[in-house]
A = this chain, B = another copy of it.
Amino acid sequence: MIKGKQSIAFKASPYIEESASVVGKKEGEGPLGSRFDMVGLDDMFGEDTWEKAESSMQKEACQLALGKAHLTAGAIRYLFGGDLLRQGVATSLGVEQLQIPMFGLYGACSTSGEALALASMCVAAGYGERMLVVTSSHFGSAEKEFRFPLSYANQRPLSAQWTVTGSGAFIVGKNRSHVRITGVTVGKIVDYGLKDSQNMGACMAPAACDTIIQNLEDFERKEEDYDRIITGDLGYVGQSILFDLMREKEYDIKERHMDCGMTIFDQSRQDTHAGGSGCGCAAATLSAYILPAIASGEWKRVLFVPTGALMSTVSYNEGASVPGIAHGIVLEHC
């Protein structure tokens, strides 16, 4: 069960039984646009504030996933959810109506990995037939939370990332599907002392490197044992740093690396600078693009590594550094 220093290998691996993705207008116009389950016509989802819109996306994603699995909320034992907003209110107010006993999580943009890890650990341990995982982010609410309200029309440096307006929901359970979670690697906080909240990719790359190498060591695997190693939202800047850091440790993942933040937007025509980011970026991409490729057998084994930058406006203004964290989820075709 326990594997190496930080990992767990499941004896009876849980399945991702079903999933759903909900995204905003810009994400719908991106390369993955036609693959999402729901694309908003605007980014308000029928609400009057960005925060409520984000909650609405979470609720929709959960209900879509439940609907696709022909289940009601009562069939779910526990919910694991989180978002980027202070005190995780997008989740609290988003999942409230479902009335599922819940664990609120915070791992910045790594939250989808944290939630999938805990949900699969709970199913494998026999703590319930099925768990629900949901995470989200919203460009409007995140810019207001971390940088400047959109109406200030603030300029963004090229190293900045574009927070994805989106949510992904996943039903993790014992019922056979074509994707299993066979193992997890829980991440440590990694701090290289960087302080630039407009360059999150650089802040998160060391954590991604740490978790990927730990996963390979714990499971005694090589890079080529994975068809893809997929980070959450390092973006273009973070990816090149990740490659450099991995090379220093004599690992090379260039050929098999994919980053959700680089996949969800088209940098050349969408003005998204260093790429997409946010709790919703990795989650929506996993549901819409990665899981179908694993389910079809195109990819047999994938290491999914959502990455998070741990900071708040208060810690940033007080001069604290921005450490990163990343959790690894091993997904296999079956």
Are B125 and A89 in touch, CB under 8 angstroms?
Answer: no
A186 to B101, CA, bound (A): 6
Does A310 count as interface, using CB distance less than 8 angstroms? yes
| A78 / chain B contacts, CB cutoff of 8 Å | 186
Are A51 and B314 in touch, CB under 8 angstroms?
Answer: yes
Known contacts A124-B125, A125-B125, A128-B2; is-contact A103 B95 (Cβ 8 Å): no
Residues A71-127 near B (CB distance < 8 A): 77-78, 82, 84-89, 92-93, 95-96, 99-108, 114, 117-118, 121-122, 124-127
| A96 / chain B contacts, CB cutoff of 8 Å | 189, 191, 323
Mask, A142-183, CB within 8 Å of B = 1, is 001100000000000000000000000000000000000000
Tell me the count of chain A residues lying within 8 A, CB to CB, of chain B.
57
Are B107 and A103 in touch, CB under 8 angstroms?
Answer: yes
Smallest CB-CB separation from A189: which chain B residue?
Answer: B96
Are B106 and A104 in touch, CB under 8 angstroms?
Answer: yes
Are B101 and A188 in touch, CB under 8 angstroms?
Answer: yes
Are A85 and B186 in touch, CB under 8 angstroms?
Answer: no
Does A313 count as interface, using CB distance less than 8 angstroms? yes
Does A8 count as interface, using CB distance less than 8 angstroms? yes
Are B318 and A52 in touch, CB under 8 angstroms?
Answer: yes
Are B92 and A310 in touch, CB under 8 angstroms?
Answer: yes
Does A240 count as interface, using CB distance less than 8 angstroms? no
